[in-house]
Amino acid sequence: MFAHTSPFRPPPQFSRAVVVPLRKPTADSSVLIEAARAGVRRFYEPGFQLKKAGVILLDLSSSSVHQAELELGGHDSKDQTQLMMTVDKLNRRFGRGAVSVGGTGMGQKGDWSPKQMRLTPQYTTKLSDIPVARA
């Protein structure tokens, strides 16, 4: 994950990145969100106006690949595959973002959400944005 301020603004500048390794491959949104939050806690400093921040996923693998691991106890090893499949199915049926993990705040419009006042028309994916010429 990464975050940085605008290079065109006067100092102070901020540019940081961190890699948060996962113990084993997962498609569990709650595990991925917790890893992202842990990464932000490691590098964030208040007082900067961030221009850009993001999460990059590395070493993706198919769900058919299983990585064996010796369970020595003390770790929560609940398999939430069925839960994640149900969330994905509901989001496909009712639209993206219909169901999300509660701690993410994704269902709320807040100061973090992107400004879309000057959103580029989506000519190739949205019929209502296609220009019509009348003579």
pLDDT category of residue 27 using cuts at 50, 70 and 90: confident
Q: Catalogue the E-assigned strands of 18-72.
A: 50-54
Instruction: State the alpha helices, DSSP H only, in 1-135.
Output: 29-43, 81-94
For the four alpha carbons of 39, 35, 5 and 106, in that order, the dihedral sign comes to negative
- Enter the pTM of the model: 0.57
Q: Which amino acid is at 9?
A: R
What average pLDDT does this structure show over 16-39? 87
First-residue to last-residue Cα distance in the chain: 51
Q: pLDDT tens-digit profile of 67-97?
A: 776 666 555 556 777 888 888 899 899 888 7
Work out the angle at residue 87's Cα, subtended by the Cα atoms of residues 113 and 17, and round it to the nearest 5 degrees: 45
- Evaluate if residue 100 carries a pLDDT over 70: yes
